[in-house]
Every structure is written in structure tokens, then in C-alpha cells.
């Protein structure tokens, strides 16, 4: 999950920076040439992100992970971001169950399942993180949701 979340975010950031900078991004001293290639390279290394996303869904289908992780969902539902990820996961997973074997041909549906499941894990880990003996600040989740949580998940990174 970390691979496709991290590389997807990195590629998106560099694309936004290039778009914002316009022609300036093409200049050598802008450092958006070879120096910015790493996220694109890691996105394609050892199979691209799509394969990693499919592995998350495959683990759910094969029973390696719980199909409905109630404890995880209940742990994050105290936040709006957690409820959004939970709702997307349940609706996408329910739709996949209704479609049966046809769901495998719906790439958008599979991406939504994988990414919402990953977002559930990120939110859960953040909420359970202790900083100086207190819970981690929840205002980070608003930024995370604004930047990383987009549903339906964009099909082109």
C-alpha cells in the first residue's frame, strides 16, 4: 500500500509543480529534469502501481485480509475522513460483490477498493500514533484528505 500511495503522491506533486511553473520547469536550473525522475521510476519499478493495487484486492478476495475490517472501520469512523474512506470502501466492495466475476474488468472499481482500503490504514495509523504522550493532531487528516483522498481515484497518475 505504501508503494502506490507514496509514488502516486510523488508523481502527482511533480506534475502539479511542472504545471504551475510552466515553461520555467523546462529550464535546467529548475531541477525538474533528471532529479525529478525518481517517483516516475519507482512507480514503474517491479511492476507498476496498478499491479500493487490489484495485489491489495487479491489479498481481500483470497481471504488473506478481512473483506470487511470492522475493527479498522470503527476505529476511523470518528473522523469525517475515516467515514469517507469507509463509505467508499463499503460501496465499492458491495458493488464488486454484486458484479461477481465481472468486477475484475472494472479497473476503476478495483482502484477505488484498493485506495480506500489504503486510506483506512493510513487514517487508523495516524489516529493511533502517540506524540509526546498525546494523540497525534487530527488537523493533519484534513490536509491528507484534501491532497490524497480523491474518489473516484483518478485513473491516470
Residues 73 and 39 placed together within one structural domain of the fold: no
In a domain, 92, yes or no: yes
The crossing angle, in degrees rounded to 10, of helices 107-128 and 139-148 is 160
Residues 23 and 5 placed together within one structural domain of the fold: yes
In a domain, 157, yes or no: no
- Give, for 134, the enclosing helix (H) or strand (E): strand 134-135
Average pLDDT taken over every residue of the chain = 79
Would you say residue 141 has pLDDT above 80? yes
Q: What confidence score (pLDDT) does residue 25 get? A: 64
72 neighbors 89 (Cβ within 8 angstroms): no
Provide the domain limits for residue 78: 50-152
Residues 63 and 41 placed together within one structural domain of the fold: no
- Rounded distance, CA 66 to CA 64, Å? 7
Q: Which three cell numbers stand for residue 71?
A: 475493527
- Residue with the larger pLDDT of the pair 7 and 108: 108
Q: What confidence score (pLDDT) does residue 84 get? A: 93
Nearest to 120 by CA among 52, 60, 71, 54: 71
Reduce the DSSP state of residue 130 to 3 states and report it.
strand
Residues 38 and 83 placed together within one structural domain of the fold: no
Handedness of CA 116, 124, 8, 58 (dihedral sign): negative
Q: What confidence score (pLDDT) does residue 46 get? A: 52
How many domains is the chain partitioned into structurally? Answer: 2
Residues 69 and 116 placed together within one structural domain of the fold: yes
Per-residue pLDDT, averaged over 121-146, amounts to: 80
Residues 26 and 81 placed together within one structural domain of the fold: no
Would you say residue 121 has pLDDT above 50? yes
Residues 56 and 23 placed together within one structural domain of the fold: no
User: What is the per-residue pLDDT across 65-96, written as a single tens digit (0 to 9) for each?
Assistant: 889 999 999 999 999 999 999 999 999 999 99
- Residue with the larger pLDDT of the pair 98 and 147: 98
- Rounded distance, CA 73 to CA 66, Å? 11
Q: What confidence score (pLDDT) does residue 157 get? A: 42
Residues 19 and 76 placed together within one structural domain of the fold: no
- Residue with the larger pLDDT of the pair 7 and 58: 58
108 neighbors 116 (Cβ within 8 angstroms): no
Per-residue pLDDT, averaged over 7-17, amounts to: 72
Residues 133 and 69 placed together within one structural domain of the fold: yes
Q: Model-level pTM?
A: 0.72
Per-residue pLDDT, averaged over 136-154, amounts to: 79
In a domain, 70, yes or no: yes
Residues 87 and 122 placed together within one structural domain of the fold: yes
Would you say residue 133 has pLDDT above 50? yes
CA–centroid distance for 3 within its chain: 9
- Rounded distance, CA 135 to CA 124, Å? 12
Q: Which three cell numbers stand for residue 78?
A: 470518528
Amino acid at each position: 500500500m505504501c508503494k502506490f500511495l507514496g509514488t502516486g503522491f510523488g508523481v502527482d506533486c511533480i506534475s502539479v509543480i511542472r504545471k504551475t511553473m510552466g515553461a520555467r520547469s523546462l529550464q535546467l536550473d529548475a531541477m525538474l529534469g533528471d532529479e525529478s525522475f525518481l517517483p516516475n521510476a519507482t512507480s514503474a519499478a517491479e511492476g507498476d502501481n496498478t499491479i500493487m493495487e490489484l495485489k491489495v484486492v487479491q489479498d481481500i478476495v483470497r481471504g488473506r485480509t478481512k473483506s470487511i475490517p470492522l475493527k479498522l472501520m470503527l476505529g476511523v469512523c470518528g473522523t469525517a475522513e475515516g467515514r469517507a474512506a469507509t463509505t467508499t470502501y463499503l460501496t465499492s466492495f458491495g458493488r464488486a460483490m454484486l458484479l461477481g466475476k465481472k468486477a475484475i474488468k472494472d479497473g476503476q472499481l478495483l482502484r477505488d477498493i484498493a485506495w480506500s482500503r489504503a486510506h483506512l490504514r493510513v487514517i487508523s495509523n495516524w489516529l493511533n500514533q502517540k506524540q509526546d504522550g498525546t494523540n497525534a493532531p487530527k488537523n493533519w487528516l484534513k490536509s491528507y484528505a484534501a491532497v490524497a483522498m480523491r474518489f473516484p481515484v483518478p485513473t491516470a497518475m
